[in-house]
């Protein structure tokens, strides 16, 4: 920022030649900056550079003692030097005071007035003086050209945004962006970032997405792709969310554990569970995704939804290794039953009950009964269904299955009795 202000506020004294007087926009003629005064100011600046700020200020004070004999232009340049010296010493409040004195002098060159007013607006913004920023910009606009106004609109938008006057801020940044669009120019990146922030504060999620779409198109950066995907998710536009995440992944923008897990979840939401599982597996193998219980469980669920039952079984057993309750074993038991591995399902159900703290113990007894039915072990099935009847969540299903199992027990008894006769 120093360099910007140097070029804006101090441009009138850079170089070894005198600045020639120019006409102001009024009919009032601007007096000349005499070489004697310029030389004194230049010596003060050199003193500051060679011997420090205090030495420079002392030199300027000796010049100021003769201020009554100076014309308006010369006094303006004296205040300008003061302002620059304080600014260079990071005393922004004093710099503002002296730059304000510059624009109080009249007549002075309009270019000096214009540059100083804009720099005052910038400095006031850095100091959090938002209303002063707006006032200086209003004055600046009175002497600025039409094609320069965009930078004032942006600065006004920044001031109002920082003042938390978001609704007032929005039209100014929109005007600046629209002006760039009208000239077929890309709006500056920081303009779009500010527009995005304002829409976010106003809870205008669709507009946030629209701005991010432009940021992705014009200034393709990883954070813009990922933010756009997140906003699509908030809007329940999951297909767009997935498309953006896939494009980001192809460009190498998705790398952290959270980003990979998010991509996997979006695949899962979009009914692509096998791709979700693959992202998780690749992340585990690359040591990018932590192998904690939550991640192992999600990996197993993805495989289950993809109907990769054997892999899902192995994954649930892997998740059980870091689980303190029997829930992962319970899930593994259900997968084993789907695989028609009835003995394995029964054993896993028993292990789950023994480990404890399962969410639905009744269903594990129901599962054991069904596994017994599959193996035509009907008496064992009746006993298991009797246990399942004790739990409200499994009672209705257990009653039906138990009636069937008992009918099979009775049928076997009749068959055996007939055979004996």
Q: Binning pLDDT at 50, 70 and 90, where does residue 210 land? A: very high
More confident residue, 55 or 293: 293
Name the least confident of 262-276, 313-327, 396-410.
396-410
pLDDT in tens, 365-388: 999 999 999 999 999 999 999 999
**What confidence score (pLDDT) does residue 421 get?**
59
Closest-CA residue to 31 (of 115, 107, 114) = 107
**What confidence score (pLDDT) does residue 182 get?**
94
pTM over 0.95: no
11 has pLDDT over 60: no
Query: 3-state class of 23 per DSSP?
Result: strand
Q: What's 253's DSSP letter? A: -
> Concatenated DSSP letters for 93-111?
HHHHHHHHHHHHSSS--HH
Closest-CA residue to 73 (of 18, 21, 17, 9) = 21
Total count of residues recorded for the chain: 421
CB burial class (10 A; 0-12, 13-18, 19+) of residue 199?
Answer: buried
Name the least confident of 25-34, 243-252, 255-264.
25-34
25 has pLDDT over 80: no
Average pLDDT of the chain to the nearest whole number: 90
**What confidence score (pLDDT) does residue 185 get?**
95
16 has pLDDT over 60: no
109 has pLDDT over 70: yes
40 has pLDDT over 90: no
- Are the beta carbons of 381 and 369 closer than 8 angstroms? yes
How much helix, strand and coil, in percent to the nearest 5, is found in the chain?
A: 75, 0, 25
pLDDT in tens, 326-345: 999 999 999 999 999 999 99
**What confidence score (pLDDT) does residue 50 get?**
84
**What confidence score (pLDDT) does residue 331 get?**
97
Name the least confident of 18-22, 196-200, 352-356.
18-22
pLDDT in tens, 269-321: 999 999 999 999 999 999 999 999 999 999 999 999 999 999 999 999 999 99
**What confidence score (pLDDT) does residue 28 get?**
67
At 375, list the tokens: 């193996």
CA–CA separation, 66 and 99 (whole Å): 19
pLDDT in tens, 235-257: 999 999 999 999 999 999 999 99
161 has pLDDT over 80: yes
19 has pLDDT over 90: no
- Are the beta carbons of 90 and 25 closer than 8 angstroms? no
CB burial class (10 A; 0-12, 13-18, 19+) of residue 90?
Answer: exposed
- Are the beta carbons of 169 and 157 closer than 8 angstroms? yes
Q: What is the percent of the chain where pLDDT is above 70?
A: 93
**What confidence score (pLDDT) does residue 46 get?**
85
1 has pLDDT over 70: no
CA–CA separation, 30 and 19 (whole Å): 12
Name the least confident of 10-14, 25-29, 230-234.
10-14
At 381, list the tokens: 């099935």
More confident residue, 29 or 394: 394
In b/e form, how buried is each residue of 119-142, taking b as 16+ CB within 10 angstroms?
bbbbbbbeeebbebbbebbebbbe
Q: Binning pLDDT at 50, 70 and 90, where does residue 4 land? A: very low
CA–CA separation, 16 and 385 (whole Å): 101
397 has pLDDT over 50: yes
In b/e form, how buried is each residue of 26-50, taking b as 16+ CB within 10 angstroms?
eeeebeebeeebbebbeebbebbee
Instruction: Summarize the confidence of residues 20-42 as an average pLDDT.
Output: 69
Name the least confident of 71-75, 321-325, 333-337.
71-75
Closest-CA residue to 268 (of 296, 235, 304, 234) = 304
Closest-CA residue to 19 (of 3, 4, 35) = 35
147 has pLDDT over 70: yes
Residue 252 gets the label, from left (phi > 0), alpha (psi -120 to 50) or beta, of left
Phi, psi of 364 (to 5 degrees): -70, -35
- Are the beta carbons of 9 and 84 closer than 8 angstroms? yes
């Amino acid at each position: 920022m120093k360099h910007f202000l140097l070029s804006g506020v101090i441009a009138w004294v850079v170089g070894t030649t005198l600045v020639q007087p120019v006409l102001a926009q009024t009919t009032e003629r601007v007096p000349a900056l005499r070489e004697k005064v310029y030389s004194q100011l230049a010596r003060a600046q050199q003193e500051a550079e060679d011997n420090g700020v205090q030495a420079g200020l002392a030199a300027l004070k000796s010049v100021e003692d003769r201020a009554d004999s100076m014309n308006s232009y010369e006094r303006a340049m004296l205040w300008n030097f003061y302002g620059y010296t304080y600014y260079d010493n990071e005393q922004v409040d004093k710099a503002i005071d002296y730059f304000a004195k510059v624009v109080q002098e009249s007549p002075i060159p309009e270019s000096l007035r214009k540059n100083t007013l804009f720099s005052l607006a910038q400095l006031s913004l850095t100091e959090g003086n938002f209303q002063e920023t707006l006032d200086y910009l209003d004055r600046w606009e009175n002497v600025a050209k039409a094609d320069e106004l965009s930078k004032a609109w942006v600065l006004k938008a920044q001031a109002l945004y920082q003042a938390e006057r978001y609704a007032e801020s929005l039209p100014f940044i929109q005007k600046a962006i629209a002006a760039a669009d009208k000239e077929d120019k890309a709006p500056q990146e920081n303009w779009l970032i500010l527009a995005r922030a304002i829409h976010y504060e106003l809870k205008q999620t669709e507009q946030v997405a629209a701005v991010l779409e432009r940021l992705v198109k014009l200034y393709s950066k990883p954070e813009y792709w990922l933010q756009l995907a997140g906003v699509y998710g908030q809007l329940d536009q999951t297909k767009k969310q997935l498309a953006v995440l896939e494009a980001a992944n192809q460009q190498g923008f998705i790398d952290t554990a959270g980003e990979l897990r998010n991509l996997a979840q979006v695949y899962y939401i979009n009914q692509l569970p096998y791709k979700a599982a693959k992202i998780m597996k690749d992340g585990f193998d690359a040591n990018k995704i932590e192998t904690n219980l939550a991640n192992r469980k999600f990996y197993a669920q993805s495989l289950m939804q993809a109907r990769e039952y054997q892999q899902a079984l192995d994954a649930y057993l892997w998740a059980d290794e870091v689980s303190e309750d029997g829930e992962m074993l319970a899930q593994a038991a259900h997968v084993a039953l789907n695989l028609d591995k009835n003995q394995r399902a029964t054993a896993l159900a028993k292990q789950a009950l023994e480990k404890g703290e399962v969410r639905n113990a009744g269903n594990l007894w129901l599962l054991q009964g069904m596994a017994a039915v599959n193996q035509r072990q009907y008496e064992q099935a009746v006993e298991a269904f009797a246990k399942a009847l004790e739990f409200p969540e499994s009672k209705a299903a257990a009653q039906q299955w138990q009636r069937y199992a008992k009918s099979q027990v009775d049928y076997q008894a009749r068959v055996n009795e007939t055979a004996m006769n």
